[in-house]
A and B are shown apart, each in its own frame.
Chain A
Amino acid sequence: METYLLFLLLGVIYGFFIGLVPVAGATVGLIAVYGFIGYFTDPYMLVVFTTAIVVTSGIGDSFAGIVMNIPGAGSAAATMIDGFPMTRRGESARALSAAISTSWVNGVFWGIAVFFFLPYYSKIVLYFGSIEMFTFLIFAMTCVIFISSKYFVRSALALVAGFCVGHIGLDPDDGTLRWTSILPSMTDGSLTWEHWIYLADGVQMVPVMAGVLAFPELLGAYYTRYEIVKINATDIKEQLIQGIKDSWKYKIDGARGGFIGAFIGLVPGIGGPIADWFAYSQTVAVSGKDGDPVGKGNVRGVIGCEGANNAQKATSYVPTILFGIPGASFEVIIMGLFMYVGLELGTIDVLQDERFFDVLLSSYLWSLLIILPIAYGFIRYAVYITNIPFTYYFWPILASLVWASVQYTGMIEDYIVLGICMLVGLTMKYLKFSRISFLIGFILSARIEASWVQFNTFGYGWQDIVFSPVPCMFVLMSIAALIWGVFYNKARIDFV
């Protein structure tokens, strides 16, 4: 029990800290955990630790956006639109207090709704056969391509590219190596390509996450010029109280953000910044009608998007745990980490593990309880951490990403793959190809292929999709997502 408590406190502190560091956030914080995975002798310790990170990094995220005008992680980018102008007016503590309060309340509400009832939701999985999973994956891919990214052609190409990278390794059909013949060799005067046996188990997830997703963001932050505005120390207490009052006054905005975040978290593959931006866009629309426009330092703008922050984090656990399909990018890391300690999400082993659900619920709620006084009480001091020049964070974070990525074999091949992933990530960011789409394609590659094979092996046909309720529903939802994504969605983003 004491050990669990220790890991909970460590997770809370680490998560809050990594949330305060500009651009870092849950994803980077979790990737770094790979470097120390050997210390988690009990799998449930890891559940406690990672849950604490996810919860508290979301709270810490707001600081960088509001105080420095750069996102703590992608999910806090919307917060800074109104948060930073408030800081310039000397109202940073009010903005932070409103952000923390709204995020926290939605975290508690949606956390209970998800984690308390998750063992009951798990019964749904028993009704998810091969055909249901096949159509669910189609829905997930449609959402990833057409809803999350501004450039859906590039997003589709990125998803296909990720799918292809996920294909490298052993062909499940005949047990031979697939797409691993990449080492040039001269045989009898002619050029041949030999297998790189290192890739026989496929490209590993950690270097892909670290190289494609995290590294370009780190590098971007390294070269970003940002303003540092000191927090006004004279009336912090009053501003804190005012922020809480604001959260209550604009509770509808916060609740709407929470609903939007919760819904988007449930849709596989698109959680993260899109939830905040979508919630923010709805707040913009409503506040405009009210004659109280946001965008220039209105606390409603902060509250509207922060409502979605922890809500989507909580609900993105649902597809991840039930189906092994990540609800957000940080869930990809969670899945990989849990796999290391024998908790394979989306399988019957975990779904029947009552202790797993108990630990998840309790660590989630305890983390929220512990972080609230810390976040309020240390606003002034936490800002000092945020204000440390990012160049000092860059090298330790980079070292931890590299360290985590070379835990696979520890040999030169690990470094080569990481280097390639970094180049791919930078190129994709420069050309605005969605890296989230790439990652989802990569992660779901085996599932998509297996699903297609099973669809055929069991002899299913299109009539089974049309005349079965659940598959039919997913197909209709996919069509709706496509139409809405192409013609009506105004909240798409282009920076991931």
Chain B
Amino acid sequence: MKKMFVTVIASITMFATTAFADYIFVVPQKPGAGTAVWTAIVAAELEKFLDGERIKIQHIPGGRSLLGFNKWHNGLQDNEKTVMVSNGGNALKYLLDEVEYNYGEYDSIGMMNLTIVTGRKIGASSNNIRMAADSARLPEMMAMMMLVCGPEGAADDYQKCFKDNVIWVKGMQQGTARLAYIREELNHTRENPAAYKKHVAKDENSEVWFTHGLLQADGSHGDDPNHPGKQFEILYEAKWGVAPSGDFYDGYKLSKSFRDGMQKALWIKKGSPDRANLVVALEEMSKNPESIKAIAKKVGNYEWAIGDAGNNNRDNILSFITEGALRTMLKFQNESLGYKSAFKPEIITK
């Protein structure tokens, strides 16, 4: 009896730590991962503008961020105060994998529009690109192939370009890849802006090759003010004399828009009465210098698309899903990068 009593007390003490909260933010990663850290910072800042209401973060990791979003889609969203925090990985999976969630079915509270910076060792040959592999690096590799092998290529041409010019090193975790880049086993790298600043910018043997630019409200991509003149479209036109176009470019644009345009996004059930409250708080937070500073420290200083602007961004991004773009992107992902993905005609919007 005494033993049972001790066990019950111990258990109650532990469970008591998970206090009730007004809002629940579902994060599809375990604590410590990128989106989880971002959410912790944003939630702490956002709480300051919620008139005493509290946010509890619920981690549902698994399936490389798939499990949590699926569970939210399939039931958790019915609690109208439960918000989904999605990331760029979720967005790419929507295009490439079997998922149960569908961005078109929710309302956006806000999304942070980021870019990825691709760097290289100064003097590294673009005919001998050594890069750590990862399925989420699809946009970088598509951009590289267009910059290296030029315009008007069919998917097969870019596949050959990849085979001839890239050593695609699989199995390297991010930390290992950074070390390998310092040792020059790898000669190309890519990072989010804050990580680039921390790990690559200090290396005087490295240079920024290109960025993907930032998604604009009209659906185009603008130059990243942190790395002016390095946007892919600008470099491409300067090198090849024409603006990028064609199915391969459309596939690239589709992949980068999904991954970077919805890099960090907050979703709530369509029509939720709590949305307005969260949107107002997020707008106030996004204008507060201290909050901006706290968030920028982790991910860099990038713009929010809040409320209806978020929905507008989402609609723009979804409109990029054409059959040609999707098929080309998948072909490159499957046959060049070597990751198995399935064609999903039901997500095509045009």
Contact with A along B160-198 (1 / 0, CB 8 A): 000000011111111110111011010000000000001
Candidate in B64, B133, B179 with the most chain A CB atoms within 10 angstroms: B179
Contact B167 A348 (CB under 8 A): no
Contacts of A124-161 to chain B: CB distance below 8 A: 125-126, 129-130
| Of the residues A126, A129, A399, contact of B7 by C-beta under 8 Å | A399
For window 226-263 of B, CB contacts with A under 8 Å fall at none
A173, A175, A346, A398 — most chain B CB neighbours (10 Å)? A175
| Contact (Cβ within 8 A) B10 A129 | no
Interface-lining segment among B55-63, B77-85, B305-313: B55-63
Query: B37: shortest Cβ distance to chain A, in Å?
Result: 6
- A479 interfacial by beta-carbon distance below 8 Å: no
- Whether A403 touches B14, Cβ cut-off 8 Å, given contacts A175-B135, A197-B62, A408-B61, is yes
Contact between B6 and A392, CB atoms less than 8 A apart: yes
Asked if A201 contacts B7 (CB within 8 A), the reply is no
Cβ–Cβ contact B64 & A174, under 8 A: no
A457 at the interface (CB under 8 A from B): yes
Instruction: Check if A200 sits within 8 Å of B32, measured CB to CB.
Output: no
A170 contacts the other chain (Cβ, under 8 Å)?
yes
- From B17, B61, B133, B172, contact of A409 by CB (8 A): B61
Question: Given contacts A395-B3, A395-B6, are A201 and B64 in contact (CB under 8 A)?
Answer: yes
B175 touches A409 (CB 8 A): no
A35 within 8 Å of B by Cβ?
Answer: yes
Compute how far the CA of A80 lies from the CA of B201 in the bound complex, rounded to whole angstroms.
56
Report the minimum CB–CB distance from B340 to chain A (whole Å): 5
Residue contact A174 to B61, C-beta cutoff 8 Å: no
Our pick among A126, A197, A198, A450 for the contact of B182 (Cβ within 8 Å) is: A126
Contact with B along A381-410 (1 / 0, CB 8 A): 000000000011011101110010000110
Cβ contact within 8 Å between A174 and B185: no
Interface residue total, chain A, C-beta cutoff 8 A: 48
B339 touches A174 (CB 8 A): yes
Q: Is the CB of A408 within 8 A of B30?
A: yes
Determine the chain B residues whose CB is within 8 A of the CB of A200 once the complex forms.
62-64, 66-67
User: Is residue B293 within 8 Å, beta carbon to beta carbon, of the partner chain?
Assistant: no
Q: Residue B153 at the A interface, CB < 8 A?
A: no
B345 CB contacts on chain A under 8 angstroms: none
Residues of chain B with a CB closer than 8 A to A172's CB: 133, 170-171
Of A82-90, A244-252, A335-343, A435-443, the segment with at least 4 beta carbons within 8 Å of chain B is A335-343
Residues 1-41 of chain B, each 1 if its beta carbon lies under 8 Å from chain A, else 0: 01110110011001001000000000000111000010000
- Cβ contact within 8 Å between A450 and B32: no
A342 & B32 in contact (Cβ 8 Å cutoff): yes
- Asked if B199 is at the interface of the complex by the 8 Å CB criterion, the answer is yes
Q: How far is the CB of B282 from chain A (nearest CB, A)?
A: 22
Does B338 count as interface, using CB distance less than 8 angstroms?
A: yes
Give, as a whole number of angstroms, the nearest-CB distance from B56 to chain A: 11
**Closest-CB distance, A207 to chain B (whole angstroms):** 13
**Residue ID in chain A nearest B171 by CB atoms:** A450
B233 shortest CB reach to chain A, Å:
28
Residues from chain B with a CB closer than 8 A to the CB of A175 are: 135, 339-341
Task: Give the docked Cα–Cα distance between A458 and B30 (Å).
Answer: 33
B30 partner residues in chain A, CB cutoff 8 A:
340, 408
* Cβ-defined contact, A348 with B32, below 8 A: no
- The answer to the question of A358 belonging to the interface, with a C-beta cut-off of 8 Å to chain B, is no
Provide the residues of chain A in CB contact with B178, threshold 8 Å.
Answer: 347-349
Alpha-carbon distance A126/B63, docked complex (angstroms): 33
Structural contact, B63 and A197, CB atoms closer than 8 A? yes
In contact, A176 and B170 (Cβ under 8 angstroms): no
- Which B residues are in CB contact (< 8 Å) with A457? 167-170
In the complex the two chains form, is A340's CB within 8 Å of B338's CB? no
**A37 sits at the interface (CB 8 A):** yes
The answer to whether A197 and B167 touch (CB under 8 A), given A38-B31, A396-B6, A399-B10, is no
- Chain B residues with CB under 8 Å of chain A are 2-4, 6-7, 10-11, 14, 17, 30-32, 37, 59-64, 66-67, 70, 133, 135, 167-176, 178-180, 182-183, 185, 198-199, 338-341
Known: A392-B3, A395-B7. 7 other contacts (CB 8 A): A175-B339, A201-B61, A340-B30, A347-B175, A347-B176, A454-B169, A457-B168
**4 nearest A-B pairs in the assembled complex, by CB-CB distance:** A347-B175, A450-B171, A200-B63, A175-B339
Some 27 contacts from A to B, beta carbons below 8 A apart, are A35-B14, A125-B179, A129-B180, A172-B170, A173-B171, A174-B340, A175-B135, A175-B340, A176-B339, A197-B66, A199-B62, A201-B62, A201-B63, A340-B32, A348-B178, A348-B179, A391-B3, A395-B7, A396-B10, A408-B30, A408-B62, A409-B60, A446-B173, A450-B171, A450-B173, A450-B176, A451-B171
